[in-house]
């Protein structure tokens, strides 16, 4: 790695009205390094990079390339300075060929006509340099997401970009495609390119980064070299407290009566007869491998699918729940694992998404109680620290972490007796995770019974008072106290150990 910076951003600020998204932020990047940029949602990462790429203008501060000040007023100046930003959402023209996308805005002309043959030949050279499998003449719409990312990178190479910014590039990639992307990033680094890598996935940061810079609340917190990198320090920098405080299981209330009890619940197919109990004030984990039937069991409890056998008891009373509407009326909230397709109304406002489950309950003489709904949404936004400029902002425009908190707030707002959370922190950064965990602990202290489905074993171990483990559609065992370990959970999930029952 070189000793002279290729990029310096000094005291960068950005204000939207009276709100400061960035306050005197510094960033230094060297040629031939992968520099990870981390921070919770709303920390200012994307805003800082949009200033670098010319999408925003800074309210204050300076940018230096190779030690010389540059004024970036728009994307044209950024490209001229050798800077390319690859957004999380692919920014290509799908109806054009790969070559046409690579040369878009800088087409080769001969005799007043576009020289498509030369463009295809030149584009193919760049594609071959990347080791991509598609051809320059292929239509972009026929490429996979991973291949479209390669087209974006090829366009950056064609422009002789020296600084490449990648914003959450693996969000839509498979594990195999992610490996291929990492190999390409490492090759570009070896060729001297500076790569700024935005991600909330620590495993990726550990594998790729030479240095990591952290933003929190729009301010620069500090940087770590690869040798200094560790999870405890990263979490402390990102959320302002150490990893050991993240789960904060020290709840003061003792578990109460059995609030949810299922006995022999089955759908007659994938879900074999299952029995479990969750007490008031308790967080119970439901673990197992993908496909073990955890989500399907939760959907049976919530009435998404009809049970063919078994019973459900709420506070000792046997109930028949035939639909989610009946489950909500009984005081059960259910956070789906697929927030975009099964949970949120992306085109509706944040406020409307929050009150969706309470509209019928709070209606007066068939009319919506808008005043009460506004109060509910305002309280919910404050409780989970949902970062929105106002309650009328469209849900689809929020970050993943804020969308997840928005959906959770819907179920908190019904005042549930039982809260079923299916992958509550999937796809969110560590800051949003911390706030979700805090909410879960608060709800448990208020006597809510929480059943949490999670594929993250540290989360299951860190948050659960007891754990049920599913294997192939049935409960393989129950763990409590000192037996709640990742090793015991995996043993039960894989059938490597006889089912045990905690006392």
Tell me: the pLDDT tens digits for 47-101? 999 999 999 999 999 999 999 999 999 999 999 999 999 987 788 999 999 999 9
Residue 88: both structure tokens together: 């999380």
Q: Which residues contact 176 (CB under 8 A, 6 or more apart)?
A: none
Q: Which CATH architecture fits 246-331+416-503?
A: 3-Layer(aba) Sandwich (3.40)
Q: How far is CA 493 from CA 261, 287, 318, 453, in A?
A: 22, 8, 30, 13
Give the contacts of 367 (CB within 8 A, at least 6 positions apart): none
Q: Is the pLDDT of residue 461 over 70?
A: yes
Pairing of strands 60-65, 7-16: antiparallel
Among 30-39, 141-150, 388-397, 478-487, which stretch is predicted with the lowest mean pLDDT?
A: 388-397
Give the separation between CA 496 and CA 490, rounded to whole angstroms.
Answer: 8
Q: Is the separation of the CB atoms in 333 and 412 below 8 Å?
A: yes
In which band, very low, low, confident or very high, does the pLDDT at 360 lie, cut at 50, 70 and 90?
low
Domain pair 7-241 / 246-331+416-503, same fold: yes
- Residue 350 or 97, more confident: 97
Fold of domain 7-241? Rossmann fold (3.40.50)
Question: Which residue(s) pair with 265 in the sheet?
Answer: 274
Tokens for 162, please give them: 């020296």
Is 172 buried (19+), middle (13-18) or exposed (0-12) by CB count in 10 A?
Answer: middle
Q: Is pLDDT of 243 > 60?
A: no
Would you state the pLDDT for residue 2? 63
Mean pLDDT on 143-152: 89
d(CA 341, CA 74): 35
pLDDT at site 420: 94
Backbone Cα Rg of the chain: 26
Q: Spell out the domain ranges in the chain.
A: 7-241, 246-331+416-503, 344-414
Q: Which position has the token pair 């208020």?
A: 446
């Amino acid at each position: 790695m070189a000793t002279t910076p290729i990029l310096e951003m000094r005291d960068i600020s950005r204000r939207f009205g009276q709100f400061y998204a960035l306050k005197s932020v510094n960033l230094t990047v060297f040629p031939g390094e992968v520099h990870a940029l981390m921070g919770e949602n709303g920390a200012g990462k994307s805003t800082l990079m949009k200033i670098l790429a010319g999408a925003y203008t800074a309210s204050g501060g300076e940018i230096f390339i190779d030690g010389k000040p540059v004024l970036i007023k728009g994307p044209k100046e950024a490209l001229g300075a050798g800077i390319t930003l690859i957004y999380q959402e692919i920014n290509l023209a799908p109806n054009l060929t790969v070559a046409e996308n690579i040369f878009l805005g800088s087409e080769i002309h001969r005799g007043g006509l576009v020289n498509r043959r030369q463009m295809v030949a030149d584009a193919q050279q760049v594609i071959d340099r990347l080791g991509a499998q598609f051809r320059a003449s292929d239509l972009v719409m026929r490429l996979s997401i991973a291949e479209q990312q390669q087209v974006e990178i090829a366009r950056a190479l064609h422009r002789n970009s020296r600084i490449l910014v990648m914003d959450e590039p693996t969000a839509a990639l498979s594990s195999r495609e992610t490996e291929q992307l990492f190999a390409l990033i490492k090759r570009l680094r070896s060729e001297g390119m500076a790569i700024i890598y935005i991600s909330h996935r620590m495993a990726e940061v550990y594998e790729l980064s030479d240095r990591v810079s952290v933003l929190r609340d729009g301010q620069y917190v500090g940087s770590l070299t690869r040798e200094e990198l560790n999870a405890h320090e990263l979490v402390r920098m990102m959320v302002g407290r150490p990893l050991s405080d993240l789960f904060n299981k020290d709840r003061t209330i003792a578990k109460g009566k059995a609030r949810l009890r299922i006995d022999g619940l089955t759908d007659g197919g994938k879900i074999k007869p299952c029995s479990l109990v969750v007490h008031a004030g308790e967080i119970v984990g439901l673990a197992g491998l993908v496909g073990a039937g955890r989500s399907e069991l939760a959907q049976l409890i919530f009435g998404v699918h009809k049970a063919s056998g078994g019973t459900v008891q709420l506070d000792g009373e046997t109930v028949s729940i035939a639909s989610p509407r009946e489950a909500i009326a009984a005081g059960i909230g259910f956070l789906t694992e697929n927030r975009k397709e099964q949970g949120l109304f992306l085109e509706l406002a944040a406020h409307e998404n929050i009150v969706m489950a309470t509209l019928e309950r709070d209606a007066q003489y068939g009319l919506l109680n808008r005043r009460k709904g506004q109060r509910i949404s305002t309280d919910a936004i404050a409780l989970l620290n949902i970062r929105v400029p106002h309650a009328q902002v469209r849900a689809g425009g929020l970050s993943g972490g804020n969308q997840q908190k928005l959906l959770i707030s819907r179920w908190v707002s019904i005042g549930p007796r039982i809260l079923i959370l299916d992958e509550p922190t999937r796809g969110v950064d560590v800051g949003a995770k911390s706030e979700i965990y805090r909410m879960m602990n608060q709800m448990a202290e208020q006597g809510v019974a929480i059943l949490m489905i999670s594929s993250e074993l540290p989360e299951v171990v860190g948050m659960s008072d007891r754990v049920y483990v599913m294997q192939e559609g049935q409960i393989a065992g129950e763990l409590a106290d000192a037996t709640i370990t990742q090793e015991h959970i995996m043993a039960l999930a894989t059938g490597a150990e006889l089912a045990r029952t905690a006392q």
